[in-house]
Amino acid sequence: MMDISIGELSRRTGVKVATIRYYEQAGLVSAPPRSEGGQRRYDAAAVRQLNFIRHARELGFELADVRELLAMTARPQSSCHAADSIARKHLEEVERRIESLTALRAELARMVAECGHGQVCDCRVIEVLADHGLCRSDHHTH
Protein backbone atom coordinates (compact mmCIF):
# COMPACT_ATOMS: atom_id res chain seq x y z
CA MET A 1 0.00 0.00 0.00
CA MET A 2 1.36 3.39 -1.02
CA ASP A 3 1.44 6.14 1.60
CA ILE A 4 2.83 9.39 0.18
CA SER A 5 2.75 13.07 1.07
CA ILE A 6 1.09 15.76 -1.00
CA GLY A 7 4.53 16.90 -2.18
CA GLU A 8 5.36 13.43 -3.44
CA LEU A 9 1.92 13.17 -5.05
CA SER A 10 2.62 16.44 -6.82
CA ARG A 11 5.99 15.19 -8.04
CA ARG A 12 4.56 11.90 -9.33
CA THR A 13 1.61 13.45 -11.14
CA GLY A 14 2.97 16.81 -12.27
CA VAL A 15 0.06 18.56 -10.52
CA LYS A 16 0.99 21.48 -8.26
CA VAL A 17 0.26 21.16 -4.55
CA ALA A 18 -2.10 24.16 -4.64
CA THR A 19 -4.01 22.57 -7.52
CA ILE A 20 -4.31 19.27 -5.66
CA ARG A 21 -5.81 21.15 -2.71
CA TYR A 22 -8.16 22.99 -5.08
CA TYR A 23 -9.29 19.69 -6.62
CA GLU A 24 -9.96 18.38 -3.11
CA GLN A 25 -12.06 21.46 -2.27
CA ALA A 26 -13.90 21.13 -5.60
CA GLY A 27 -14.70 17.50 -4.81
CA LEU A 28 -12.72 16.02 -7.71
CA VAL A 29 -10.29 14.27 -5.37
CA SER A 30 -11.43 12.69 -2.14
CA ALA A 31 -10.00 14.22 1.00
CA PRO A 32 -7.21 11.84 2.04
CA PRO A 33 -6.63 10.45 5.48
CA ARG A 34 -4.15 12.34 7.61
CA SER A 35 -1.19 11.20 9.61
CA GLU A 36 -1.05 11.71 13.37
CA GLY A 37 0.78 14.97 12.64
CA GLY A 38 -2.08 16.14 10.38
CA GLN A 39 -0.24 15.57 7.09
CA ARG A 40 -2.29 14.42 4.11
CA ARG A 41 -1.41 10.86 3.06
CA TYR A 42 -2.20 9.56 -0.43
CA ASP A 43 -2.35 6.12 -2.01
CA ALA A 44 -1.98 4.68 -5.52
CA ALA A 45 -5.64 5.41 -6.29
CA ALA A 46 -5.01 9.12 -5.70
CA VAL A 47 -2.09 9.01 -8.14
CA ARG A 48 -4.28 7.37 -10.81
CA GLN A 49 -7.12 9.82 -10.14
CA LEU A 50 -4.87 12.89 -10.37
CA ASN A 51 -3.23 11.61 -13.55
CA PHE A 52 -6.72 11.18 -15.03
CA ILE A 53 -7.71 14.71 -14.00
CA ARG A 54 -4.46 16.24 -15.26
CA HIS A 55 -4.79 14.55 -18.64
CA ALA A 56 -8.45 15.53 -19.01
CA ARG A 57 -7.59 19.14 -18.16
CA GLU A 58 -4.68 19.10 -20.65
CA LEU A 59 -7.24 18.08 -23.27
CA GLY A 60 -9.34 21.07 -22.25
CA PHE A 61 -12.23 19.38 -20.48
CA GLU A 62 -14.08 21.63 -18.03
CA LEU A 63 -14.08 20.67 -14.36
CA ALA A 64 -17.76 19.70 -14.41
CA ASP A 65 -17.07 17.29 -17.27
CA VAL A 66 -14.01 15.90 -15.50
CA ARG A 67 -16.12 15.32 -12.39
CA GLU A 68 -18.72 13.45 -14.44
CA LEU A 69 -16.09 11.40 -16.29
CA LEU A 70 -14.43 10.50 -12.99
CA ALA A 71 -17.76 9.36 -11.59
CA MET A 72 -18.13 7.05 -14.59
CA THR A 73 -14.85 5.31 -13.75
CA ALA A 74 -16.50 4.01 -10.58
CA ARG A 75 -19.01 2.14 -12.79
CA PRO A 76 -16.74 0.34 -15.28
CA GLN A 77 -19.48 -1.99 -16.58
CA SER A 78 -21.94 0.77 -17.46
CA SER A 79 -22.42 2.21 -20.94
CA CYS A 80 -19.88 4.74 -22.15
CA HIS A 81 -22.57 6.72 -23.99
CA ALA A 82 -22.35 9.62 -21.51
CA ALA A 83 -18.56 9.78 -21.84
CA ASP A 84 -18.89 9.79 -25.61
CA SER A 85 -21.45 12.60 -25.40
CA ILE A 86 -19.15 14.70 -23.22
CA ALA A 87 -16.23 14.15 -25.59
CA ARG A 88 -18.36 14.97 -28.66
CA LYS A 89 -19.60 18.18 -27.06
CA HIS A 90 -16.04 19.15 -26.21
CA LEU A 91 -14.86 18.33 -29.74
CA GLU A 92 -17.57 20.61 -31.18
CA GLU A 93 -16.40 23.43 -28.91
CA VAL A 94 -12.77 22.88 -29.94
CA GLU A 95 -13.81 23.00 -33.60
CA ARG A 96 -15.68 26.29 -32.97
CA ARG A 97 -12.58 27.74 -31.31
CA ILE A 98 -10.36 26.60 -34.18
CA GLU A 99 -12.71 28.28 -36.66
CA SER A 100 -12.65 31.47 -34.61
CA LEU A 101 -8.87 31.39 -34.26
CA THR A 102 -8.46 30.79 -38.00
CA ALA A 103 -10.54 33.91 -38.71
CA LEU A 104 -8.55 35.81 -36.11
CA ARG A 105 -5.26 34.73 -37.70
CA ALA A 106 -6.45 35.84 -41.14
CA GLU A 107 -7.54 39.22 -39.82
CA LEU A 108 -4.25 39.80 -37.99
CA ALA A 109 -2.25 38.73 -41.04
CA ARG A 110 -4.24 41.19 -43.18
CA MET A 111 -3.70 43.99 -40.67
CA VAL A 112 0.04 43.37 -40.58
CA ALA A 113 0.29 43.05 -44.37
CA GLU A 114 -1.54 46.36 -44.88
CA CYS A 115 0.67 48.22 -42.42
CA GLY A 116 2.92 50.70 -44.24
CA HIS A 117 5.50 50.70 -41.44
CA GLY A 118 5.33 54.49 -41.33
CA GLN A 119 4.09 56.63 -38.50
CA VAL A 120 1.49 55.68 -35.90
CA CYS A 121 -0.92 58.30 -37.26
CA ASP A 122 -1.03 56.31 -40.55
CA CYS A 123 -0.77 52.83 -39.03
CA ARG A 124 -3.29 50.31 -40.41
CA VAL A 125 -3.00 48.14 -37.29
CA ILE A 126 -4.05 51.07 -35.09
CA GLU A 127 -6.86 52.02 -37.50
CA VAL A 128 -8.35 48.54 -37.55
CA LEU A 129 -8.08 48.15 -33.77
CA ALA A 130 -9.90 51.45 -33.35
CA ASP A 131 -12.72 50.51 -35.77
CA HIS A 132 -14.02 46.94 -35.87
CA GLY A 133 -15.98 47.89 -38.98
CA LEU A 134 -12.70 47.76 -40.91
CA CYS A 135 -12.38 44.03 -40.20
CA ARG A 136 -13.39 41.63 -42.96
CA SER A 137 -14.51 38.78 -40.75
CA ASP A 138 -16.24 38.07 -37.48
CA HIS A 139 -13.21 36.93 -35.53
CA HIS A 140 -14.37 37.45 -31.96
CA THR A 141 -13.14 34.77 -29.61
CA HIS A 142 -15.37 33.64 -26.80
Give residue limits of the domains in the chain: 1-78, 86-142
How large is the average pLDDT for residues 108-115?
81
| pLDDT at residue 125 greater than cutoff 60 | yes
pLDDT of residue 31: 86
Report the candidate in 4, 38, 42 with the shortest Cα–Cα distance to residue 23.
42
Model pTM greater than 0.85? no
Note the CATH architecture for domain 1-78.
Answer: Orthogonal Bundle (1.10)
The residue with greater pLDDT, 98 or 74, is 98
Residue 128 and residue 50: Cα distance in Å, rounded? 45
Check residue 4 and report its DSSP letter: B
| pLDDT at residue 44 greater than cutoff 80 | yes
| pLDDT at residue 134 greater than cutoff 80 | no
Beta-carbon count within 10 A of 8 CB = 14
How large is the average pLDDT for residues 49-58?
96
The residue with greater pLDDT, 134 or 63, is 63
Q: Are 51 and 18 in contact (CB under 8 A)?
A: no
Confidence of residue 122 (pLDDT cuts 50, 70, 90): low
Q: Give the C-alpha distances (Å, rounded to integers) separating 90 from 13, 38, 55, 79.
A: 24, 39, 14, 19
Beta-carbon count within 10 A of 62 CB = 14
Dihedral sign for Cα atoms in the order 24, 57, 69, 11: negative
pLDDT of residue 120: 63
Q: Are 90 and 61 in contact (CB under 8 A)?
A: yes
